[in-house]
Amino acid sequence: MPNQTNMAEFLLLGFSDVQELQILHFVLFLVIYLVGLVGNLLIITVIALDHRLHTPMYFFLGNLSILDLSSISVTIPKSMANSLMDTRVISYPACVAQVFLFMFFCSSDLGILTIMAYDRYVAICHPLHYERIMNWRACVHMATSAWVTSLLYSALHTGNTFAVSFCGGHVVDQFFCGIPQLLKLACPDSNRSENGVIIFSACLVVSCFVFIVVSYVHIFRAVLRIPSEQGRHKAFSTCLPHISVVSLFILTGAFAYLKPTSSTTSLLDLIVDIFYSVVPPVLNPVIYSMRNKEIKAALLKLIGRRLSLAQKMSVFHL
């Protein structure tokens, strides 16, 4: 039986063996990828160029957009290339890289979302101390700690996953290399160390989730004590995009990892895999741009500036 020492490649789950459907898959994923690419790049650009957005909340939002953009770049292009070239092969090193990078960006996402909850808690519950607590030095340290911790966490996860022996073949029941699907190929009793890491991961995710929930319980209590309705609305409006993004991220991930595993892959499994790995990074910039007045104003200002520059250039050439 093959093991990890002579495994040269894996076969990823194909969406279809029919050429027309493969082309359809390529086109759909291309559209999804371009939407995520443009949306996250716009968020990053407006935050970098608009000085009014140089605040802790938008600093962390910029980090989130970088992570979302990187996350979809790890999974979607390879799947598109496989459909275009009518193949399902991914090399062993490429599979290791996918696992490491996907875990790194997803865990960093959770870390940044947890920090953003703390930022909103300080802004609403302790507004007089906000600038002192959330100074730029503290923000950079928190963001750096999230990235570095996720890097170590991903390295631990990846190392434990590929330390096992694979006796169940080399067909991964997913359109990218994911840890649960790889562990289904592991030999019996060879993945105990990774199971321990998975339990640790679950505790970590639950801890972050509890921290976010507790933060928002305090936030809602503070908001409800605001006397004016306009003040309450303004406070809620700054929290609503973050709540939506956190809910989408955690619910899709929980559903994907907690659903019962089956020996055969169904269409539902494929849709769930797409939903938790692709949809949140693509929808996050849409949620923030639609629900945040400052982001919308900055986007309109940037587009207006570019249109004005284009008109001046056209007049100059004439």
pLDDT for 115 equals 95
**Which residues, including other chains, have CB under 8 Å from residue 147's CB and lie 6 or more apart?**
108, 111
The hierarchical CATH code for the domain 9-317 is 1.20.1070.10
The closest of 190, 196, 170 to 181, measured between CA atoms, is 170
pLDDT for 228 equals 82
Hey, where are the domains in the chain?
9-317
Torsion of Cα atoms, 120 then 126 then 128 then 129, to 10°: -80
The closest of 95, 110, 101, 108 to 208, measured between CA atoms, is 110
Radius of gyration of the chain (CA): 22
Cβ count within 10 A of residue 141: 11
pLDDT for 100 equals 95
Q: How many whole angstroms separate alpha carbon 107 and alpha carbon 151?
A: 9
pTM, whole model, 2 decimals? 0.86
DSSP three-state, residue 90: strand
Q: How many whole angstroms separate alpha carbon 277 and alpha carbon 106?
A: 9
pLDDT for 306 equals 67
The closest of 46, 285, 305, 64 to 54, measured between CA atoms, is 46
Q: How many whole angstroms separate alpha carbon 83 and alpha carbon 22?
A: 5
Per-residue confidence of the chain (318 residues) as pLDDT tens digits? Answer: 444 445 678 888 767 777 788 888 889 999 999 999 999 998 999 899 888 889 999 999 999 999 999 999 999 999 888 888 888 889 989 999 999 999 999 999 999 999 999 999 999 999 899 999 999 999 999 999 999 999 999 998 888 888 877 776 788 888 888 887 888 887 776 656 666 777 777 788 888 889 999 999 999 898 888 888 887 887 777 788 888 888 888 777 777 666 665 555 556 667 777 877 888 888 888 887 766 777 877 777 777 776 666 666 655 555
